[in-house]
Amino acid sequence: MTDPAFTLAALRAAGSLAVSERERSAADSVAAELGRKIIELDAKPGSVSLTLGFAEGFEPNPDEEVFSIRCLSPIPLVALATCLGLCWTDLDRRPHPGENVSIERVLEVAAALGAPRSHLLGAMRNELTMSGLLKLDGSTVRLGYAIAAWTDAQIDALRRFAHALPRDDA
């Protein structure tokens, strides 16, 4: 069995990780002591895929001087909003994993907003995938592990504005 500290370090480094149920249990205990929580992404016989999020009330405070917020530039933001709008079809549920959507459909909907297709595709393949916000698989896209780590408060805030997300009206 891997030391829970190594499991948590691997989760932070890789974004997501498949572990045994026993390793998950040990990591859960340590994460809770640190104000973090383990989020299940996918379960298979003998292992579970996890990511690391913040426990409610332990999220970083953007008003603190030492906290650095990473903002998306307009094109990746349009691509992410489009993917959220197309993949998150049941607003009563958490957005992750959402529905698989063809990359072509995402490009069509986002391009209708005036964003250049090549820039959208670049943002999806690079910045949004590398940050764990999206997962591309062949010709489809779905929401990534970073979205699974969003807190209930963040998702509730997004639900209030979900009507403004680009949706598939076709």
More confident residue, 103 or 17: 103
Q: What is the pLDDT of residue 56?
A: 73
Domains and CATH numbers, the chain: 4-54 (no CATH), 74-164 (1.10.10)
CB burial of residue 59 (10 Å; 0-12, 13-18, 19+): middle
pLDDT score of 170 more than 60: no
Q: What band does 1 get if pLDDT is binned at 50, 70 and 90?
A: low
- Read off the pLDDT of each residue in 71-96 and give the average, rounded to a whole number: 90
Q: What is the pLDDT of residue 108?
A: 92
Question: pLDDT tens for residues 132-149?
Answer: 899 999 999 999 988 888
Percentage of the chain beyond pLDDT 90 is 30
Q: Model confidence over 16-35: pLDDT tens digits?
A: 888 888 887 888 777 777 77
